[in-house]
Amino acid sequence: MDNKSVEPSRWLMEIRPTDKRMNLNFKEIWRYKDLILLFVKRDFKARYKQTLLGPAWAVIQPLLTTVVFSIIFGSLAKLTTADVEGSTLKMPAFLFFMTGTIFWAYFSGTVSATSSTFIENVRIMSKVYYPRMVTPISTAFSNLISYFIQLALFVVLLVIFVVIGIAEVSLTWFSLMIPALIVQMMMLSTGVGILISAFTTKYRDLRMLVTFGLQLWEYLSPIPYGLSMIPERLMWLYMLNPITPIITAMRYAFFGTGYFNLVYYLISLAVTIVIFIFGMIMFNRIERTFADTV
Amino acid sequence: MEELMIQVENVAKRYRLGMIGRTTLREEIQRKKAKRRNQEDPTVKIGRETDYSYGDTFLALDGVSFEVKKGEALGIIGHNGAGKSTLLKLINRITAPTEGVIRLNGRVASMLEVGTGFHPELTGRENIYLNGAILGMTKKEIESKMEQIIEFSECRKFIDTPVKRYSSGMYVKLGFSVAAHLDSEIMIMDEVLAVGDVAFQNKCISKMKEVAKSGKTILYVSHNMATIRNLCNRCIVLSAGKKIFDGEVEEAIEHYVTRDFSLNSETILDSLKRPYRTTALTHMKRITYLGGENGVFEMGDILRFQLDWSAKRAFDRMKLRLGIFTVSQIAVGVSFTEDFSVQEGENSEIFSLDISHLLPGKYCLELLMIELDDNESQVKHDVLHKDAVIFEIVASEEKKLFRAVNRDWGHYVLPETKCE
């Protein structure tokens, strides 16, 4: 470094009182990419340490849920597992439920973990500075690993089912949507999570509501039943739930049959983006002073 | 010209009492405030009563400004609740200031708490990566220092064992080792840094010294004046959220320790807070130095003073215990008076203490009124804070030798050595 005196404009960083301005520093988050990576590793490793089955739990949990769903909602309650009526393709209820449960495992896991970002990490965050967004970002990615393991299992099962003739799929170009849908799933769950986290620093009440709210939300989404349960005249209302178009589109992408409405999907995409950006703004506003309020 | 690394401009941090709705924080601030006001029991909810009502604000920092140049090691001292931690939190971006600007010209790394973010399930090596990254290092930087860190931590044997199996000593050693190898231009250090056994503590201090000498800019907070002297080349003193001194280390320490006390020939003791509970059967009211000039004595003088006190009943065998401390609270020696009797009501007595062997400097006089019971143990009737009464000794013309006192000499000059 040179020994010249530094002009005020050449300061690397200025810390000013909180203002309403957005100052998301993506460059800084990028500088901490190693930390994100390490957090992801830590989350994933620590989750299955001292368990006999290890990462197999990532597979067992959704499998069990799917079995329960298949028995209760499928065999006992006999809820429909079709998104549109009169599909000619065979589709076992088990695979139908599995798409929903693994999606939900990701969504609820990410929302509940990111929504307590500040509260859970207050000890470290009130000692050391690092961009606070690093934590929810790494949660989103570490859960994604579990999701991919589950997705891989799903694909294997799908292939087996097709080969032995229990299931039929018709692959279409729409299958290429899957990565985009996964990205949207990440954005929506992170957005909802950080939005809640911004409010829970002051009002812990929200935290109590998260568990209950997530459960309610699950039943308001076509996860334990098919979309064809919903009467056509209420469809517009039902579709305002941004999750619905993502799940139905995902099933459409996997099975080649189902429900896809571009307008509803675009609304869902718009809602996702709005929630994500709004969540970032709120998170950014809170992160600078949360240490005083938590 | 030297490069500025930190510029703190008129920074204030305001907390609003009671507005957060969380009792713990409220209590914490009240405790802070209590400490600041010299209240004895910090957990007493003073806010409940009269002083602070719901919604009152409290300035933890009040218009602090200073600059730090490249390579400076700045010590920050002040009593509890003076605003030191708040200041570090602001520079460290843990919370934002209410007013003012802080400008930084380099990455800030804080060594505030060692081992923050260690995950018990991960191995020592994995935790070095994690901790280093939390403190702002990249993976490459950590990798290049991995060997040094492991070596320094003295935990090589267990480096691939989960840290939950570590002893607490190993845990903090590893934590310090990561923090000590940070490579930021600005380093924030806290006193709790020196950890582990004595040997490792010394290692920590010398490592910190090494860091300080390496041209990095250091902010160091401590209550330990010895390490402040050791590490810093400049010091600021905070008191009640304000900067009250900025400059040379020794001067700052003196300023900090003697804060509001100026040298006087008379000190009123009546209204002073007592540090702890006593029988309170006697109450010291005033001390007046006889001789000396406004509490300044020449080396070789006898310390004569008159003490006034009141007593609730008469005593036959009262004693006065006099503790001599340096202004940085290092004990120099103790002296007991002969027994004297005390009558009920007002009392006054003149005492003299031979302080001719004390080296020049400022000293605190701790006063305790005690009575010896049958087992020769002390029953305390009245006790004053160590730093309540101070006096200074200066070297006279014929004792020029002692003008420039070397710190290594201690505080006491032994009787002259004779030639035989």
Annotated domain spans of chain A: 25-293
Coil, strand or helix: which one is A227? Answer: helix
Q: Compute the distance between CA of residue B72 and CA of residue B246 in angstroms, rounded to an integer.
A: 13
Q: Compute the distance between CA of residue A267 and CA of residue B354 in angstroms, rounded to an integer.
A: 90
Residue A22's contacts (CB-CB under 8 Å, 6 or more residues apart) are A281, A284
Question: Do B121 and A125 count as a contact with CB atoms less than 8 A apart?
Answer: no
Q: Compute the distance between CA of residue A6 and CA of residue A10 in angstroms, rounded to an integer.
A: 6
Query: Stretch B268-276: mean pLDDT, rounded?
Result: 80
| Confidence class for position B351, pLDDT limits 50, 70, 90 | very high
Cβ distance B332 to B411 under 8 Å? yes
- Mean pLDDT rounded to a whole number for chain A: 86
Residue A155 amino acid letter: V
Question: B117 CB near a chain A CB, below 8 Å?
Answer: yes
pLDDT attached to residue B23: 44
**pLDDT tens readout for residues A178-237:** 999 999 999 999 999 999 998 888 777 777 889 899 999 999 999 999 888 888 899 889
Q: Compute the distance between CA of residue B292 and CA of residue B304 in angstroms, rounded to an integer.
A: 9
| Confidence class for position B256, pLDDT limits 50, 70, 90 | confident
pLDDT attached to residue B193: 58
Measured between CB atoms, which of A1, A16, A202 is closest to B101? A16
Cβ within 8 Å of A, B 136-165: 136-139, 162
Q: Which chain A residue has its CA at the smallest distance from B21's CA?
A: A202
Contacts of A8 in chain B (CB under 8 A): 103
Question: Do B103 and A14 count as a contact with CB atoms less than 8 A apart?
Answer: yes
**pLDDT tens readout for residues A9-40:** 578 788 888 665 566 678 888 889 999 999 99
Question: B4 CB near a chain A CB, below 8 Å?
Answer: yes
Question: B3 CB near a chain A CB, below 8 Å?
Answer: yes
pLDDT attached to residue A200: 84
Interface test with B, best of A4, A122, A292, A293 (most B CBs within 10 A): A292
Measured between CB atoms, which of A12, A35, A293 is closest to B133? A35
Percent pLDDT > 90 in chain B is 24
Contacts of A124 in chain B (CB under 8 A): 116-117, 134
Nearest-neighbour CA in chain A from B3: distance (Å): 5
Beta bridge partners of B290: B304
Query: Stretch A147-170: mean pLDDT, rounded?
Result: 90
Q: Is B142 exposed, middle or buried (0-12, 13-18, 19+ CB in 10 A)?
A: buried
Q: Does the predicted model carry a pTM greater than 0.80?
A: no
Q: Compute the distance between CA of residue A157 and CA of residue B8 in angstroms, rounded to an integer.
A: 62
Q: Compute the distance between CA of residue A24 and CA of residue A26 in angstroms, rounded to an integer.
A: 6
B148 within some domain: no
Q: Where are the beta strands (DSSP E) in B41-134?
A: 57-69, 73-78, 99-104, 108-111
Residue A73's contacts (CB-CB under 8 Å, 6 or more residues apart) are A79, A97, A224, A225
Contacts of B99 in chain A (CB under 8 A): 17
Widest pairwise Cα distance in chain A:
79
The answer to whether residue B323 scores a pLDDT higher than 70 is yes
pLDDT attached to residue B258: 64
Contacts of A4 in chain B (CB under 8 A): 1, 3
Query: Locate tokens 């005083």: which residue?
Result: A292
Q: How many domains does the structure of chain B reveal?
A: 1
Cβ distance B195 to B155 under 8 Å? no
Nearest-neighbour CA in chain A from B256: distance (Å): 26
The answer to whether residue A172 scores a pLDDT higher than 60 is yes
Percent pLDDT > 70 in chain A is 93
Domain of B381, CATH number, reads 2.70.50.60
DSSP classification of residue B272: S
Higher pLDDT, A50 or A214: A214
Highest mean pLDDT, choosing among A69-78, A120-129, A184-193, B29-38 = A184-193
B296 within some domain: yes
Q: Compute the distance between CA of residue B371 and CA of residue B386 in angstroms, rounded to an integer.
A: 19
Q: Compute the distance between CA of residue A176 and CA of residue B261 in angstroms, rounded to an integer.
A: 78
Measured between CB atoms, which of B15, B89, B119 is closest to A46? B119
Query: Stretch A1-6: mean pLDDT, rounded?
Result: 43
Q: Compute the distance between CA of residue B78 and CA of residue A148 in angstroms, rounded to an integer.
A: 54
Question: A25 CB near a chain B CB, below 8 Å?
Answer: no
Full domain range(s) for residue B384: 266-409
Residue B53's contacts (CB-CB under 8 Å, 6 or more residues apart) are B18, B47
Percent pLDDT > 90 in chain A is 46
B9 within some domain: no
- Mean pLDDT rounded to a whole number for chain B: 82
The answer to whether residue B387 scores a pLDDT higher than 90 is no
| Confidence class for position B55, pLDDT limits 50, 70, 90 | low
B294 within some domain: yes
Question: A48 CB near a chain B CB, below 8 Å?
Answer: no
Question: Do B101 and A130 count as a contact with CB atoms less than 8 A apart?
Answer: no
Question: Do B96 and A18 count as a contact with CB atoms less than 8 A apart?
Answer: yes
Inter-CA distances, A27 with A23, A31, A33, A131, A237, Å:
11, 6, 10, 10, 40
Contacts of A134 in chain B (CB under 8 A): none
| Confidence class for position B53, pLDDT limits 50, 70, 90 | very low
DSSP classification of residue B344: S
**pLDDT tens readout for residues A267-294:** 999 999 999 999 998 898 888 878 777 6
B35 within some domain: no
Size of interface A-B (CB pairs under 8 A): 127
Question: A78 CB near a chain B CB, below 8 Å?
Answer: no
